[in-house]
Every structure is written in C-alpha cells, then in structure tokens.
Amino acid sequence: MKPDSPHIALFIPCYVDQFYPKVGIATLELLEKLGCKVSYPQGQTCCGQPMANAGFERNTVGTTRHFIETFKEYDYVVAPSGSCVLHVKEHTPAIPELEKEQAELHHKVYELSEFITDVLKVERIDGSYPHRVGYHASCHGQRGLRLASSSELNEKPFSKARKLLENLVGLEWVELTRTDECCGFGGTFAVTEEALSIQMGKDRLEDHLVHGAEILTGGDMSCIMHLQGIASRNKQALQFKHIAEILNEAIS
Amino acid sequence: MSHPVQAAEFLQDAAKSKWHDETLWFVRDKRDKISHTIPEWEQLRELASKIKDNVLGNLDTYLEDFERNASKNGIKVHWAKDAEEHNSIVLSILQEKNCKAIVKSKSILTEECHLNPYLEKSGIEVVDTDLGERIVQFLNQPPSHIVLPAIHLKKGDISKIFHEKLHTEEGNEDPTYLTQAARIHLREKFLGAKVAITGVNFGIAETGEFVVCTNEGNADMGVHLADVHIACMGIEKIIPKREHLSVFLRLLARSATGQSITNYTSHFRSPSAGRETHIILVDNGRTAQLGRETFRNSLKCIRCGACMNTCPIYRRSGGFSYESTVPGPIGSILSPGLDLKKYSTLPFASTLCGSCTDVCPVKINIHEQLYAWRQEITKAQGTSGKSLSMKLGNGIFKSPLAYKISGTLMRAALKTLPDSLIYNPLNSYGKSRDLPELPKESFKDWYKINRG
C-alpha cells in the first residue's frame, strides 16, 4: 500500500493501552513497515465489551457513540484484538442519528491479521523468527470473526495468522492436541467463575508445554494476559507475545 | 447454589474432573471424525435448521395434522399444558389399567416433569431401563447428561452400586459382567410391566407415526412386552414429513456419540391388536419460549448432547453444576425461560467461546442466546452494585479525559499497592494468576511523545 493510500486508524483496546503499550507500538510499526498510513486517534477509550458481556449492553450507548465519532472519518480501523473487533461489529447498541456511520464502521473495522491478509493482500511476510511457536486462537477471533477454520465445522482448514507466521524463516509451528479450545479468560468470567477459568487456562498451557512450545502467541492479549498470569504464578517456562510483536520483530 | 460454587466443588477432585473432561472430549473427538467423513455435513445442518424453522413457524398446523393422523392410526392423543397435567394423564392411564409397575426408556421430558417421584408417591414402581439411567436411579440422582446419564460415575462406582443393589461380586469392575447383571435384573422388570413409557425423538405430522432412537433396544423391549405404550413428547419434536426424518437421523447419532446411527431406530405407527398406544403432547413452557423471538430457535434442539461434550465449562464442572434437567449450553438457554431467577447464573457459566453453536447439528446460535439472556437477567435484577459499576464504566469510557485519569490512577495504584492487597482473597482475579507487569507509560503516552 502506498503512503497516499487509505487512511488507517489504529484502535488500541483499553487494556492494551494501559498494560501492553509494546503491543500497540508493534502493531503501529508493523503496519507502517507494510506501507500503511496509520494514525492513532487520541480520543479513543474502550469499545464497551466488558460491560456488554456482563449483561449491560444497554449501558454502552455513550461509549459506542463516542467510538463511532472517534473512528467514523477513517477508511479502515485496525485493532490488535479479535475480541474487541467482534464486539464493535456485533454487540454494540444501535446509535440514533449515527446509523449510517455505524453500519459503515462495521465493514471497515478489522482485526490485525485479517487486515494484513484480506485488505493488504499480503501473501507472505519475509523475515526470520527461529523459535518454536504455539498459537492460541482466541475464540472471538476464531469462531466470531472466522479468522481460522473451526475444528467443529466440516470445512477446508485455514488460518490467517498461521499463513503469516508459517513463512517466517526458522519458525516452527507447534501442533496442539486441542487446536481451538477456549483458554477460560472470558472477561468477567475470569472473576465470576474463577475456579473454572484457572483450570481451563492450566489445561491450555499444558497443551502448549507438552508439545514443546517456546513462545505462546495469539491475536488477543486478554487471553495471553490470563495464560501468562497463570504460567507466571506456577513458574512455567514459556514466553508470551502478541502476533504483532513477532511479525514486527521478524521483519526488522 | 450458584453455578460457580458447584463448579468449584466439582474441580476440588482434580483427578476426577480431568477424567470427566477427557472422557467427554473423547466423545467430541469421535463426533468430529465421523462428521468429517460426510462431505455434505454442513448442508445437512443447514437443511435441518431450515426444516426446524418451518416447524416452529407452523407448529399449530403440524400438531393438528399429527393429532388427526395419529388418531386415524388408532393412537390415543392427549394434550398437556404443563408438567402437572402430563403427570396426571400418565397416572390416570395407569390407574385405569390397574398398573402398579412400569418400565420407562430414556425420556428427558419425563425428567423435566419429575414424573418418577410423582408416580412413586402414588405407589407405582418406576424402573428406568436405559442402563445409565438405571444406575443413577439406584443412587436417587437425576441424569448428569442427556445422552450419557451416568457419565459422572466411573466403573468402580458402578461396581459398588451393583454390588449393593444387584449383589454382584464385590470389586468386580468388568463392564461385561456388570452389564450382564443389569440385563438379568431388567429382564424381570420388563416381563412384569403392563405399561411401558418411552420418550419420542421425532413425531411425523404427515403420517401420525413417531420415532424413538435408543442404543440398547430397551424402548422396544418394554413396548413389545407391555399391553399399553405411553409415549411422552414435547410439542417441538414434530417434523413435517417422513422424508425429513433421514436428515435428522444422519445428524443425531453422529453428533451425539460419533456413531453413524443409533442401534435401534423404531417407528411406532399403530398399536398391535388388543393393545393400546397413547401419546402425550406436552407444552410445559415451550409455547412461551416460542413467543420469545430472540430465544425461539432454542426449540430446534434434538437433544443430541453435542454442546455438552464440546463445552469447556460443562466438561470441567459436570452436569449437576447446572442444577437444571437439561444441563450444559443448551440447558443454559432453555432453563432461564422456565425460571429466570433460579437459573440466573447459567448464561454466565460460559466464556461465549461459540463452540456449542458450531457443533450444534441444527445450528442453534447458542452462545448468542447466552449473551442475550445475560441482558435480560441484568434487566430483571434491577439496580445492583454491578449495574452501578457498569454505568460508571460507561461514564468513564465515553469521556477520553475521564478514561485517561482513571487509567493513570489505576496503573499508579497497582504499582504502589502492596501485593498482599492486590492478591487479597476478595480479588479473585489475582488468587491463582499474576497480574501483568506494569509499564511506566500507556500506549497513548508513548504515542504523544514519539509520534504526537
């Protein structure tokens, strides 16, 4: 994509902004390396997902209105999160007088890996990353945005993230026993169903560890934050990175 | 008790919960393998879903067709608006026949109506003839899974129960030996029962016949030995024509257990000479669910149990943690329609991962309905502490300045507060998980300095 090409807004989820600025930086740098003109609208806050999933979608009108106002002028909106993108597309209340802008936004907001494969039409990323990498498919990206084939469905296997990672020189893709089982984060679920959430996280980590993963990556930092938190508590030797960090490091 | 409390209890026995998870995952895996051998699998699901859409849109007509055609075939058709009516119809038939002992094959509807305790109160012996159901009946427990009723028990548990109830050798856990003992025990019960009760998998409007699927042949054994057959059917089990049956039969057993078809798929059309067949068409909340547009297609369910086998929550918390007749994801969207308050924690017993929706053979959007029930439940609960904090959240997120201040304060607070406070037992996020290391600046701060 040329520098005078469409104007892309970076949508950085609130918890990434606050806890993982390095993921925001990697996303920005990666898109720039791929030739994009990217801006970060500084008035952005949160998409409202935590409230909506807790059963309070009706209380997210102000948040949603603000989101649309912030991003409506851009050609594309790209986020390093499948979960927040899914929320914007499917779980935001209809905003009176912004119906047109809202409908348009639903078609121009993308998760990072699908933006690279589907909009930028990048077939392969040239770079090197000599590590054994386990990929955690976030459910909202996987089954919500259909970023990869779902193990339940009888469909041709595909994965947008795998397509980008697999060509990196030296990267070994770790095959898991349960390719797309949930990690147990689930937003407020992590607190309200704490025991289950922890057990699900432990089981996911185990799958990566027994298959010799050195780095666990994924498209959603929320899953990774949860998994990293459990691994750190249990002193398990596994590194954690967002896919944007790996791709950004690999290219440079 | 709420789902989180029950789930935490189930997880206390780590080895058993792991075994439960792996056993059900094995069933899910079998289902994946066999469904992948059918190239038109996704078309079958779509077709089944559309047939059910048609059924739900014309349920009144199909039910009347079914009643007319079944009556023509000599079947006595009864209507029950709720569990109480259903149970009293069953009891009146038994009393008319002066029947004191019945056999019953698997019927989740009769569980839903609590038929067994109702009949037992009237002095009637009820024997569940499905092996798994008989096992849980010995323990006075409900089924923990709609297809695998005793999946929460291990071989050793069953050996103990059979030793106590059927006097099998102590410590003999050989499945063949135990099954043989059950067969001998059940044979006696089959021979002594004048009336047999079965569930119904499909009622065919066009022909007035109904179809019962089992793996053990226990429905047939009961019906063929008894003078009277009572079939209990939820009104949503109707399909329009016999030609539609194959679509569902191809999906049902593959989704349920990974088999190509159930061992017995029995069609009941009219009673043999000198015998009677009754069918009870039961509403019990189904019409109300049909009237809820967002939730109506939960009535497409063919009770295969695939959503339970795939659910990462169900596998790790067990069927009893839901405390509803139908557990798991499908139960969590059906039960709130019956009692919103009692089942208010169930739609939250999910990460909304969507596996249930993708595995469902009739394409019920289960996880979307879980999300929708959450919205209904919080509305019904009114202003609570959580609701206030959510309103506060909206106040913060709609204002960039408020968001910035609260974010900076949060990071500052997390940095300065002692671990003992962050990892306070009240803060359950940090109980078994470390919080992320805190960066010195937010992305927004970085952007202002570096790109602003």
Q: What is the pLDDT of residues B302-322, one digit of tens each?
A: 999 999 999 999 999 999 999
pLDDT of residue B15: 95
Q: Are A136 and A243 within one domain?
A: yes
Host domain of residue A146? 132-250
- CATH architecture type of domain B38-284: 3-Layer(aba) Sandwich (3.40)
Question: Could A195 and B11 be called an inter-chain contact, meaning their C-beta atoms sit closer than 8 Å?
Answer: yes
Q: Are A166 and A74 within one domain?
A: no
**Could you tell me the CATH number of the domain that includes residue A230?**
3.40.50
> Is B387:B381 a contact under the CB 8 Å cutoff?
yes
> Is A251:A169 a contact under the CB 8 Å cutoff?
no
Q: Which residues pair with B279 in a beta bridge?
A: B77, B231
Mean pLDDT, residues A53-69 taken together: 95
At residue B420 the predicted structure's pLDDT band, cuts being 50, 70 and 90, is: very low
> Which position has the token pair 């699927």?
B213
| A32 in reach of chain B (CB within 8 A) | no
Q: Judge whether A158 lies within some domain.
A: yes
Nearest CA in chain A to B389: A51
pLDDT of residue B400: 73
Q: Are A24 and A61 within one domain?
A: yes
Mean pLDDT, residues A2-16 taken together: 85
Mean pLDDT, residues A55-60 taken together: 94
Q: Judge whether A104 lies within some domain.
A: yes
Q: Would the pLDDT of A213 be above 60?
A: yes
At residue B175 the predicted structure's pLDDT band, cuts being 50, 70 and 90, is: very high
Q: Are A17 and A97 within one domain?
A: yes
Q: Distance of CA B113 to CAs B83, B285, B329, Å?
A: 5, 11, 20
Look at the pTM and tell me if it is higher than 0.80: yes
Cα gap B411→A19, rounded to integer Å: 8
> Which position has the token pair 């029930």?
B373
Answer with the one of A69, A87, A119 that is the final residue of a domain: A119
Q: Are strands B209-214 and B264-268 parallel, antiparallel or unpaired?
A: antiparallel
pLDDT of residue B393: 62
Q: Judge whether A34 lies within some domain.
A: yes
Q: Are A233 and A152 within one domain?
A: yes
Q: Are A94 and A143 within one domain?
A: no
Q: Judge whether A92 lies within some domain.
A: yes
Chain A residue numbers with beta carbons less than 8 Å from the beta carbon of B448 are 42
Answer with the one of A119, A146, A164 that is the final residue of a domain: A119
Q: Judge whether A88 lies within some domain.
A: yes
| A38 in reach of chain B (CB within 8 A) | no
Question: Could B443 and A152 be called an inter-chain contact, meaning their C-beta atoms sit closer than 8 Å?
Answer: no
DSSP A45-113: ---SHHHIIIIIGGGGHHHHHHHHHHHTTSSEEEES-HHHHHHHHHSSPP-TT-HHHHHHHHHHEEEHH
Q: Are A189 and A108 within one domain?
A: no
Number of domains present in the structure of chain A: 2
Confidence check on the interface: ipTM exceeds 0.90, yes or no: yes
Q: Which residues touch B269 (CB under 8 Å, ≥6 apart)?
A: B73, B207, B208, B209
Q: What is the pLDDT of residues B229-253, one digit of tens each?
A: 999 999 999 999 999 999 999 999 9
Q: Where are the domains of chain B?
A: 38-284, 296-381, 385-450
Q: Are A52 and A155 within one domain?
A: no
Q: Judge whether A72 lies within some domain.
A: yes
pLDDT of residue B428: 83
What is the token pair recorded at B96? 């008319």
Distance from CA of B331 to the nearest CA of A (A): 18
pLDDT of residue B406: 67
At residue A32 the predicted structure's pLDDT band, cuts being 50, 70 and 90, is: very high
Q: Judge whether A150 lies within some domain.
A: yes
Cα gap B363→B351, rounded to integer Å: 19
Q: Would the pLDDT of B390 be above 80?
A: no
The CB density around residue A70, as the number of other CB atoms within 10 Å, is: 18
Q: Are A146 and A243 within one domain?
A: yes
Q: What is the pLDDT of residues B141-158, one digit of tens each?
A: 999 999 999 999 999 999
Cα gap A248→A34, rounded to integer Å: 10
- What percentage of chain B carries pLDDT values higher than 70? 90
Q: Are A148 and A223 within one domain?
A: yes
Q: Judge whether A124 lies within some domain.
A: no
